[in-house]
Amino acid sequence: MAALSPLSVALLVAVTVGLAAAILAWRERPEPGATWLAVLLAGQVWWATFLVFELEATTLPAKALWYDVQWVGVVAIPVGWLFFALAYTGYDRYVTPFSVALVSVVPAATVAVAAAGDPGNLLAVDRVVRETAVGTFLGVVPGPLYYVIAGYTYLLGAVGSVPLIQLIRDDARPFRGQSAALLVGTAAPWAGNLAHLSGAVPIPGLDPTPLAFAVSGVAYLLALSRFRLLTLAPAPRRRARQLVFEQLHDPVFVVGTEGLLVDLNECAAETFGIDRRDAIGEPAATVVPKYDAIRELDGADADKPRPIPIVGRDGQRPYEATVRDVIDDHDRTTARVITFHDVGVYLGQQQRLNVLNRVFRHDVRTETNLIQGYAEQLRSDPTDERALSVIEESAERMLELSERTRTAGELFDPTEESETAPLTDAVDEAVAEARAVAPDARIEVGQVAPVPVPDVLAVVLGNLCTNAVGHNDAATPWMRIDAAVADGWVEVTVADDGPGIDPAEYDVLDRGTETPLRHGSGIGLWIVKWGVDHLGGRISFDEREPTGTVVTVCVPVDRSETPGAGPDGEPPDPHLDDPAPSDESGSLGPPPNAGR
Amino acid sequence: MANEPTKPSAPDGTTAQYRSQSTPPDSGAVRRVAAFAAGAPFTALVAAVEVAVVTVALGVPRSAAPVAVGLIAFAVYAADHVADAEGDVSSTPSRARIALRYGDQLMTAAAVSYGLAVALAVGAGPAALALALVPGAVWVGYATGRPAAAGDLAAPLGTVSVPRLKDVFLLNSAAVAIAWAVAVVAAPLAFTGVTLEAVGAPTVALLFAYVAVRSFVDVEVPNVRDVAADAARGTATLPVVYGTAGTRRILLGVDAVAAGLLGAVAAIDAVPRPVLAALAAGLAVSVAVTALADRLGGAALGVAPDCSYLVAGAVLLAIGG
């Protein structure tokens, strides 16, 4: 074996490290980018290998043959680099058979020209043997196709570098190290080729690009072993972040600076019944629920979000909306992200805690004081029938309070599956409870459709009916219950001829919180409100002439449906005292009524 | 676990973690090194010596062939040990433990080793490169499942099952033996650029047959050690099919064939006398190992057959000058 030229020895180093890195990359398949990195490194090894053969060949035809064979490796490198960078950084949707075929057209044409013997001198206008101190190689005067493929290589290299450069600025140190090593591995051959094209190489005609592959190989080996390239690839992050956006249980909208909808997640589409393909590009005001109200939040009140009632798939739910600006690298706001968080459960829990606190702090204490006082009186006068009667009544109220408290606890137990029952059964059950409270009451039942409703509605109606006849000072209490069904909503009306409900009770329900000075009496109305809220419905109170109250409850027929999906899904306006104001109307249409 | 309480492990209440270490050097490290050396490095050494002996036998100039073949052998066997580490736990526990613990490092070493071998082959010319790339191509093929896919295509709609090569009785050992023979005999020619005609086709053919036959014995002898594991896996080997005694008789017969081939080499005076003597010494070692196959321990049986080449190399060095 003849002694190798210094250039060949240097190239063998590039072959060694390049092939080792290629094997390790190939071993990591199917990690993102592994196959394409192996292709890139194999291209480098191929180029260096056949350059050695060219250097060691002794005749011009032999050198020309090995020179032409090198083109396979030369053109494989930029293709491998581009698709490696895309797959490795998570842009794998651009790595398709079609895109690979498209990108490979120019490289394949180049190889075909080389294989055909370079007809028309497209690749090399002239070829001469150059004898130098470092080796004897083929000096080539480039043809037009040479410059085309060179430019194409630089183009693919630049495109592939973009996502990797982004990683250098990443917070995660391993990815910074990986991308830095990869860019060094890529920049070294580029620098060599630029030096060749610009004539900066001291040995005329020598293209040092393959020599720089030794640097590339070491950089890639370092990235593979030290920085765990491929075993710790950033590719999943892009998908994961997209997945979080898509799978978030809160509706999210992205609105551009021009007020047009840019994106929305799956939850937003489902909750508010929006067709994503149709919605994107539309004015946000026509798609995003309560958009005008939310825009106002994007100011001084942004830190104090207040619940906004919006009708959606689960009926009317209170949402807290947060608005966050999307800022680019130049501190420019490019979009705003609006997130809706359903706070119904949280508000219900807060209210129940608040009310139960009041029950123990006020109601139970009052009754206990009463019992204690009259018990003292009984001690001094055991024949005091009135004292005994008061104690019995007080104990009965406490028992009733206890029962209702238990009902409230059981009603909203999150571990319990919600069941459905026909509306007729719910009405019958409520009427039966009312008759038990006031056997002499006149109770009228209107037409009731047998639609399925959640069984929570039976508890709501039971409380309303017992209140209607129980807190009624008429000689013969009267009440009437009617139920109408329209557009997937059930509207139940309970009317009585009692003294009416104290406005203070409405006020407390409206505010949603009680204070030591402003609170309701008992928890019956609270149970009604919580039940209606739980069902995604609403409740309203009207005075009745000449006396009495009309309570209207509006709830979805079936919670699995999306009654608020569009104008057709709007609950009927139950002619109440507070018609739907426009500022409470989301893009899905106005709510049934404001209620109290 | 960070929050797990540390239990005192000594009467003084201290734990091993905090006590000063005054124990003697870990003899386990020595065992691990020995177990590692007895694996791929030993195989690489044997391969290099084998190629060196054949180089002298063929009468071709010295070249990088022994080094290149040794590096390829190391790469192939190291990668194989890593790939089969879990399955080797029962038969070669020490080697399997090393492969499992240092799998990434071994694979890196294997990759660099193969890269170096290919670089040496590139320096030697296209023929040497082609020879060096065969193991890599086969590895890539198996890694991508190409042979299995080809088998599926060959089987007409599943009516005929195409078994894997390694599951076919005798063919497995024969394939390995032929692969070794090709590498060992062709490498000296390819790395020096000496043609078949220049050496003489009969000489090359006889040496090829000799190396193939001897390699077959070297592959089958360790199967005596693995007979229980192979039987449990359903892998048909000579010891599984014919028992230990039957295997010994068969392999002694194969050694007799090798002796015949050596006689033929001597008859046509194809190789120098010192080489003939060295090969004869190696064959004698092989016969001895085969005869003692059921008496040697598992570790010894794993390396003893290949030692015949080391003996041949030593004899050649001693008498060949």
| Interchain contact, A53 vs B125, CB within 8 Å | yes
pLDDT of residue A592: 45
* Å between B196 CA and nearest CA of chain A: 17
- A488 found inside a domain: yes
Rounded Cα–Cα distance for residues A323 and B314 (Å): 82
- B229 found inside a domain: yes
Residue A479 sits at the chain B interface (C-beta within 8 Å): no
* Å between B33 CA and nearest CA of chain A: 23
Rounded Cα–Cα distance for residues A291 and A587 (Å): 8
| pLDDT tops 60 at residue A186 | yes
More confident residue, A506 or B216: B216
* Token pair of A77 as six digits: 């490198």
CATH code at A285? 3.30.450.20
Return the residue in B67, B105, B112, B122 with the most chain A beta carbons within 10 A, the one to mutate for interface testing.
Answer: B122
- A352 found inside a domain: yes
* Å between A457 CA and nearest CA of chain B: 50
Strands A478-486 and A442-445: parallel
- A551 found inside a domain: yes
* Token pair of A317 as six digits: 């739910």
Please list every residue in chain A whose beta carbon sits closer than 8 Å to the beta carbon of residue B115.
15-20, 23
Q: Are residues A96 and A201 in the same domain?
A: yes
With b for 16 or more beta-carbon neighbours within 10 A and e for fewer, the B59-86 pattern comes to bbeebbbbbbbbbbbbbbbbbbbbbebe
| Interchain contact, A17 vs B64, CB within 8 Å | no
More confident residue, A175 or A326: A326
Q: Are residues A117 and A50 in the same domain?
A: yes
Residue whose pair of structure tokens reads 């071709």 in the numeric block = B60
Torsion B176-B178-B184-B188 (CA) sign: negative
- B16 found inside a domain: no
At B9, the pLDDT band (50, 70, 90 cuts) reads: very low
Please list every residue in chain A whose beta carbon sits closer than 8 Å to the beta carbon of residue B125.
1, 53, 56
Q: Considering just the CA atoms, what is the radius of gyration of chain B in Å? A: 23
- B18 found inside a domain: no
Percent residues over pLDDT 90 in chain A: 17
Residue whose pair of structure tokens reads 């074996």 in the numeric block = A1
CB-closest option in B115, B120, B129 to A17: B115
* Overall domain count for chain A: 3
A43-80 pLDDT, tens digit per residue, is 999 999 999 999 888 888 888 899 999 999 999 999 99
CATH code at A49? 1.20.1070.10
| pLDDT tops 80 at residue A167 | no
| Interchain contact, B114 vs A56, CB within 8 Å | no
| Interchain contact, B123 vs A49, CB within 8 Å | no
CB-closest option in B107, B118, B192 to A24: B107
Q: Are residues A408 and A288 in the same domain?
A: no
* Å between A149 CA and nearest CA of chain B: 27
Residue A65 sits at the chain B interface (C-beta within 8 Å): no
Q: What is the span of the domain harbouring residue B146?
A: 35-320
- A355 found inside a domain: yes
Please list every residue in chain A whose beta carbon sits closer than 8 Å to the beta carbon of residue B120.
12
**Adjacent-strand bridge partners of A333:** A327
pLDDT of residue A530: 85
User: A30: cis peptide before it, omega within 30°?
Assistant: yes
Please list every residue in chain B whose beta carbon sits closer than 8 Å to the beta carbon of residue A54.
none
Return the residue in B118, B138, B146 with the most chain A beta carbons within 10 A, the one to mutate for interface testing.
Answer: B118
Q: Where are the alpha helices (DSSP H) in A248-280?
A: 266-271, 276-279
More confident residue, A85 or A304: A85
Please list every residue in chain A whose beta carbon sits closer than 8 Å to the beta carbon of residue B136.
23
Q: What is the span of the domain harbouring residue A337?
A: 238-342
pLDDT of residue A356: 81
Closest CA to A509 of A343, A308, A351: A351
- B6 found inside a domain: no
Long-range (24+ apart) CB contacts under 8 A made by A286-291 are: A286/A587, A287/A253, A287/A261, A287/A587, A288/A253, A288/A255, A288/A261, A288/A338, A288/A586, A288/A587, A289/A319, A289/A340, A289/A586, A289/A587, A289/A588, A290/A321, A290/A584, A290/A585, A290/A586, A290/A587, A291/A586, A291/A587
- A158 found inside a domain: yes
| Interchain contact, B111 vs A21, CB within 8 Å | yes
3-state secondary structure A558-570: CCCCCCCCCHHHC
The total number of residues written for chain A in this structure: 596
pLDDT of residue A33: 85
| End position of a domain, from candidates A220, A235, A250 | A235
Rounded Cα–Cα distance for residues A111 and A100 (Å): 16
3-state helix, strand, coil in chain B (%, to 5): 75, 0, 25
3-state secondary structure of A545: coil
Separation of CA A188 from chain center: 42
pLDDT of residue B23: 43
Backbone φ and ψ for A463, nearest 5 degrees, come out as -65, -40
pLDDT of residue B31: 65
Please list every residue in chain A whose beta carbon sits closer than 8 Å to the beta carbon of residue B110.
23
| Interchain contact, B111 vs A20, CB within 8 Å | yes
Rounded Cα–Cα distance for residues A33 and A26 (Å): 10
pLDDT of residue A136: 80
Report which listed range, A12-26, A547-561, A569-583, is most confident.
A12-26
| Interchain contact, B114 vs A1, CB within 8 Å | no
Residue A49 sits at the chain B interface (C-beta within 8 Å): yes
CB B7 within 8 A of CB B15: yes
CB-closest option in B119, B140, B193 to A16: B119
Please list every residue in chain B whose beta carbon sits closer than 8 Å to the beta carbon of residue A12.
119-120, 122-123
| Interchain contact, A26 vs B116, CB within 8 Å | no
Residue A437 sits at the chain B interface (C-beta within 8 Å): no
* Token pair of A259 as six digits: 């007020």
- A144 found inside a domain: yes
Kindly give, in sequence order, each residue whose CB lies less than 8 Å from that of residue A195, ignoring residues fewer than 6 positions away.
Answer: A201, A208
| Interchain contact, B123 vs A20, CB within 8 Å | no
Closest CA to A474 of A544, A525, A521: A544
User: A234: cis peptide before it, omega within 30°?
Assistant: no
Mean pLDDT of chain B: 76
Q: What is the DSSP string of A346-389?
A: HHHHHHHHHHHHHIIIIIIHHHHHHHHHHHHHHHH-TT-HHHHH
Q: Are residues A396 and A512 in the same domain?
A: yes
* Å between B158 CA and nearest CA of chain A: 28
pLDDT of residue A298: 58
| Interchain contact, B120 vs A18, CB within 8 Å | no
Rounded Cα–Cα distance for residues B263 and B280 (Å): 10
Please list every residue in chain A whose beta carbon sits closer than 8 Å to the beta carbon of residue B118.
15-16, 19, 45
Rounded average pLDDT over A318-335? 85
* Token pair of B104 as six digits: 């990434």
- B222 found inside a domain: yes
CB-closest option in B61, B111, B193 to A24: B111
Rounded Cα–Cα distance for residues B210 and B190 (Å): 19
CB-closest option in A4, A12, A19 to B114: A19
At A562, the pLDDT band (50, 70, 90 cuts) reads: very low
What is the interface size between A and B, counted as CB pairs within 8 Å?
65
Chain A: residue nearest B111 by CA? A20
Residue A15 sits at the chain B interface (C-beta within 8 Å): yes
The total number of residues written for chain B in this structure: 321
Q: Are residues A174 and A242 in the same domain?
A: no
Q: Are residues A60 and A182 in the same domain?
A: yes
| Interchain contact, A23 vs B115, CB within 8 Å | yes
- B9 found inside a domain: no
Please list every residue in chain A whose beta carbon sits closer than 8 Å to the beta carbon of residue B137.
none
Please list every residue in chain A whose beta carbon sits closer than 8 Å to the beta carbon of residue B61.
1
A100-136 pLDDT, tens digit per residue, is 999 999 999 999 999 998 888 888 888 888 888 777 8
| pLDDT tops 60 at residue A386 | yes
The DSSP output letter for B272 is: -
Rounded Cα–Cα distance for residues A320 and A413 (Å): 23
At B160, the pLDDT band (50, 70, 90 cuts) reads: very low
Angle at A458 between CA A533 and CA A310, to 5 degrees: 20
Please list every residue in chain A whose beta carbon sits closer than 8 Å to the beta carbon of residue B106.
none
Chain B: residue nearest A231 by CA? B104
Rounded Cα–Cα distance for residues B58 and B67 (Å): 17
Backbone φ and ψ for A486, nearest 5 degrees, come out as -155, 130
- B275 found inside a domain: yes
Q: Are residues A128 and A195 in the same domain?
A: yes
A447-463 pLDDT, tens digit per residue, is 888 888 888 888 889 88
Closest CA to B237 of B83, B91, B79: B91
| End position of a domain, from candidates A298, A315, A342 | A342
| Interchain contact, B118 vs A19, CB within 8 Å | yes
Long-range (24+ apart) CB contacts under 8 A made by A341-348 are: A341/A250, A342/A250, A342/A317, A342/A318, A343/A307, A343/A318, A343/A319, A344/A317, A344/A318, A344/A533, A344/A534, A345/A414, A347/A307, A347/A318, A347/A512, A347/A533, A348/A412, A348/A530, A348/A533, A348/A534
* Å between B90 CA and nearest CA of chain A: 26
pLDDT of residue B13: 40
pLDDT of residue B42: 86
At B113, the pLDDT band (50, 70, 90 cuts) reads: very high
pLDDT of residue B240: 84
Q: Are residues A55 and A188 in the same domain?
A: yes
Chain A: residue nearest B60 by CA? A1
- A578 found inside a domain: no
Residue whose pair of structure tokens reads 């739910």 in the numeric block = A317
- A215 found inside a domain: yes
CB A582 within 8 A of CB A476: no
Q: Are residues A405 and A316 in the same domain?
A: no
CB B112 within 8 A of CB A16: yes
pLDDT of residue B155: 39
Rounded average pLDDT over A13-28? 88
Query: Which amino acid type is present at position B228?
Result: A
Chain B: residue nearest A42 by CA? B115
Rounded Cα–Cα distance for residues A285 and A255 (Å): 10
Closest CA to A499 of A429, A427, A548, A440: A548
Separation of CA B156 from chain center: 35
Percent residues over pLDDT 70 in chain B: 74
CB A54 within 8 A of CB A66: yes
Please list every residue in chain B whose beta carbon sits closer than 8 Å to the beta carbon of residue A225.
104, 108
pLDDT of residue A29: 82
- B89 found inside a domain: yes
**Adjacent-strand bridge partners of A488:** none
| Interchain contact, A49 vs B129, CB within 8 Å | yes
| Interchain contact, B192 vs A12, CB within 8 Å | no
Rounded Cα–Cα distance for residues A131 and A127 (Å): 13
Q: Are residues A370 and A319 in the same domain?
A: no
Chain A: residue nearest B124 by CA? A1
Q: Are residues A387 and A527 in the same domain?
A: yes
| pLDDT tops 70 at residue A407 | yes
pLDDT of residue B36: 65
* Overall domain count for chain B: 1
Please list every residue in chain B whose beta carbon sits closer than 8 Å to the beta carbon of residue A1.
61, 63-64, 123-125, 191-193
A329-358 pLDDT, tens digit per residue, is 778 888 889 999 888 878 877 777 877 877
Q: Are residues A452 and A525 in the same domain?
A: yes
Rounded average pLDDT over B179-205? 87
| Interchain contact, B115 vs A15, CB within 8 Å | yes
